[in-house]
C-alpha cells in the first residue's frame, strides 16, 4: 500500500512538472497591451484566452471561429483555441451575444471598427521584425482635399538618411488599405516602415518614399461604387489631383511616372488596378494584392473581363507593356480569390500582357499582404 501511495505521489508531481513546462512554453502575444499575460500563444500556435467577467452568462471568442469559454469559481472565463495560422488576426470577445474589444489586446481599425487582434508568429519570418539597421521615419501628415472639402490624414515613410541627404530625390510608392480599414492599416498592421528599413539595409530595395493614404473616398452624397472605373473615380480624383501633388510639393520626390508606383490590398488592390492602369502619366508601376476584382467574392455576373474593365489591356497589350515598368499581382494560396486571380493572370499573359505573379501561404490576411509588399518593393524601381 505504501508503495502504491508513493507511485501516486510521483505521478502527481510529474503531472505538475509537465503543467509547469506547458505554461512556461506559452508566451503572451506581442499584440497584448503592456503587462497583459493573456492571450498566450503556445508552441503549437494554439491560443489561451482568459477574461474576468463574473456577471456574464456566456462568453465566447470570435477568431474567425466561435469558441465557447468556461468559467471558474473566480469568475474567470478561459478557452484554448485550435492551432492558428501565422499572421495577424482580428478577433472579438462575445459577451452575452455582444461583440466587444478585449481589454487585454491593443485595438486596431479593421472590420469597419476598432477591434482586438493577435499576432501569431511565423517561424523563420523576420522580414517585418525590427533589426539593428538604419531606420527611416514614419510621419502623420494632414492635407486639405479640394475634392472632399475636408482635411484628411496620410502617413509618409521616408528612408534612412532622408533628412541628411538633402539634395537627393526619391521614387514614391503609394500604397492602399482594404475595405473596412483606413490609413492606419499599412502604418500599423502592415509594418511598412520596418519592412522597408530591412529591405533597404539588405540592398534589396532602393531607398524610397511610401505614402499611405486613406482610400475611403466617395463622391459627394454617394457611397463606394464597387469594382469599376466609375466606382473608383472618386479615389482617382483624390489621388491624382490632391495626394500626388501634395507629396511632390512637400517631399523630395522624383515627380514622374517612371518613379511612381501604386499598389494596395483587397479594395486597395482594385483601386490600384483601375487608377494605376488608367493613369500612365502618373504611375509606371502597379501592384495588386488579393483583390476581389477578378472574382471570388462576386455572387453573380459573367466574371472578370479585363478588356471591358480597361479597354485595350488585352487588345493593345504592347502599349501597356511599354508604359509599365512593373505590373504585379499576388494572392494568398488559401484565399477564395486565388483561382480567379490565377485565371485572370493566365488570360492576360496569353494576350501578351507582362504580369509578375506570386502567391503566399495564407488566406485574406495581413501576413500575405506583408509578404506581397516585401516582394513588390524588392522588384519596383529596379
Specify the DSSP element, H or E, that contains 285: strand 285-289
pLDDT in tens, 109-124: 998 999 999 999 999 9
pLDDT in tens, 16-33: 333 333 445 899 999 999
223, pLDDT greater than 70: no
Helix (H, G, I), strand (E, B) or coil at 245: helix
Which domains does the chain show, CATH number per domain? 27-120 (2.60.40.10), 137-379 (3.40.50.1820)
What confidence category does residue 220 fall into, taking pLDDT thresholds of 50, 70 and 90?
Answer: low
User: pLDDT value at position 13?
Assistant: 36
Peptide bond into 115 cis (omega under 30): no
Query: Given 3-state DSSP classes, what are the helix, strand and coil percentages for the chain, each rounded to the nearest 5?
Result: 30, 25, 45
User: pLDDT value at position 20?
Assistant: 34
323, 316 Cβ separation under 8 angstroms? no
173, 195 Cβ separation under 8 angstroms? no
User: pLDDT value at position 303?
Assistant: 84
> What span, in angstroms and rounded, lies between the C-alpha atoms of 377 and 382?
9
User: pLDDT value at position 133?
Assistant: 98
Mean predicted lDDT score pLDDT of the chain:
91
The residues that bridge with 329 in the sheet, in sequence order, are 288, 357
Average pLDDT of span 283-310: 87
Average pLDDT of span 218-241: 82
Average pLDDT of span 199-206: 98
Lowest mean pLDDT segment, chosen from 26-40, 174-188, 190-204, 223-237: 223-237
183, pLDDT greater than 80: yes
Amino acid at each position: 500500500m505504501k508503495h502504491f501511495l508513493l507511485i501516486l505521489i510521483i505521478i502527481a508531481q510529474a503531472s505538475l512538472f509537465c503543467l509547469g513546462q506547458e505554461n512556461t512554453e506559452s508566451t503572451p502575444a506581442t499584440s497584448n497591451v503592456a503587462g497583459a499575460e493573456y492571450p498566450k500563444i503556445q508552441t503549437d500556435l494554439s491560443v489561451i484566452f482568459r477574461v474576468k467577467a463574473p456577471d456574464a452568462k456566456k462568453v465566447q471568442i470570435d477568431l474567425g471561429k466561435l469558441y465557447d469559454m468556461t468559467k471558474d469559481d473566480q469568475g474567470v472565463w478561459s478557452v484554448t483555441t485550435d492551432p492558428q495560422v501565422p499572421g495577424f488576426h482580428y478577433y472579438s470577445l462575445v459577451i452575452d451575444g455582444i461583440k466587444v474589444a478585449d481589454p487585454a489586446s491593443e485595438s486596431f481599425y479593421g472590420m469597419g471598427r476598432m477591434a482586438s487582434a493577435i499576432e501569431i508568429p511565423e517561424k523563420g519570418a523576420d522580414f517585418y521584425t525590427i533589426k539593428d539597421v538604419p531606420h527611416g521615419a514614419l510621419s502623420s501628415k494632414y492635407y486639405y482635399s479640394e475634392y472632399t472639402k475636408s482635411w484628411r490624414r496620410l502617413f509618409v515613410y521616408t528612408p534612412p538618411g532622408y533628412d541628411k541627404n538633402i539634395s537627393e530625390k526619391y521614387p514614391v510608392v503609394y500604397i492602399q488599405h482594404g475595405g473596412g480599414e483606413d490609413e492606419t492599416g499599412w502604418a500599423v498592421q502592415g509594418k511598412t516602415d520596418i519592412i522597408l528599413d530591412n529591405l533597404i539595409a539588405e540592398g534589396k530595395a532602393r531607398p524610397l518614399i511610401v505614402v499611405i493614404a486613406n482610400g475611403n473616398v466617395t463622391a459627394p452624397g454617394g457611397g463606394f461604387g464597387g469594382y469599376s472605373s466609375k466606382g473608383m473615380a472618386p479615389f482617382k480624383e483624390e489621388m491624382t489631383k490632391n495626394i500626388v501633388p501634395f507629396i511632390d510639393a512637400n517631399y523630395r520626390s522624383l515627380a514622374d511616372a517612371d518613379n511612381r508606383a501604386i499598389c494596395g490590398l483587397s479594395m486597395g488592390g482594385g483601386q490600384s488596378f483601375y487608377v494605376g492602369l488608367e493613369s500612365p502619366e502618373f504611375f509606371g508601376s502597379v501592384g495588386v494584392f488579393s483583390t476581389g476584382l477578378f472574382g471570388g467574392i462576386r455572387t453573380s455576373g459573367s466574371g472578370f473581363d479585363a478588356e471591358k474593365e480597361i479597354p485595350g489591356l488585352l487588345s493593345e497589350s504592347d502599349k501597356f507593356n511599354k508604359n509599365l515598368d512593373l505590373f504585379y499581382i499576388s494572392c494568398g494560396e488559401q484565399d477564395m480569390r486565388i483561382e480567379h486571380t490565377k485565371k485572370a493572370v493566365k488570360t492576360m499573359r496569353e494576350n501578351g500582357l507582362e504580369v509578375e505573379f506570386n502567391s503566399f501561404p495564407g488566406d485574406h490576411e495581413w501576413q500575405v499582404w506583408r509578404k506581397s509588399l516585401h516582394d513588390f518593393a524588392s522588384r519596383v524601381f529596379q
